[in-house]
Amino acid sequence: MKKTVFFSILLLAFASSALAQKTYEPKKGSAERTAIMNAIRTYDVKRESGLANETFRVSALRVQGTWAYANVEQQGANSYGQAHVFLQKAAGKWRVAFSTYNDANEVGVDGLERLRKKNRSFPKGLADFAMKYLAG
């Protein structure tokens, strides 16, 4: 009986810590930040091959669990301006789930709403952080 209670408490502790993940900004130069920027670059190059060597000015970047939000401005001759990008990490790799650099002219607030409806795992803390940039 004591073992069952102990394991139940232990399980609750792990579950609550997983649900309480905080948003954080990956450090400049870190492998995670580089992987996120490379995922955005890969998405952009699929749309426009001339963007293969693009660089970004990052205004905001946060990660929470397997989701990330980036507010970036592409720098260079073929600049498309500012983009709001949501990414999801699956099988150890970041992939763009939504970008305002899209063919449908879908704006960030609508993209976020669609992502949250489709993915119940989308963290509220990250959505709240992104809304500061999407609504402004």
Distance in angstroms (rounded) separating the CA atoms of residues 72 and 83: 5
Q: Average pLDDT of 53-63?
A: 91
pLDDT of residue 5: 45
Architecture in CATH of 22-134 = Roll (3.10)
- The full set of domain ranges for the chain reads 22-134
pLDDT tens digit string along 69-125? 999 998 876 677 789 999 999 999 999 999 998 878 889 999 999 999 999 889 999
User: Which residues lie closer than 8 Å to 134 by C-beta, 6 or more apart?
Assistant: 84, 107, 108, 109, 112
Angle at which helix 108-118 crosses helix 124-134, to 10 degrees, equals 170
Contact in structure between 87 and 36 (CB atoms under 8 Å): yes
User: Which residues lie closer than 8 Å to 96 by C-beta, 6 or more apart?
Assistant: 39, 40, 42, 43, 85, 86, 87
Beta strands in the chain (DSSP E): 55-64, 67-75, 82-90, 93-99
Q: Please report which helix (H) or strand (E) contains residue 20, including its range.
A: none
Distance in angstroms (rounded) separating the CA atoms of residues 114 and 122: 11
pLDDT tens digit string along 5-27? 444 454 444 443 445 689 999 99
Whether this prediction's pTM lies above 0.85 is answered by no
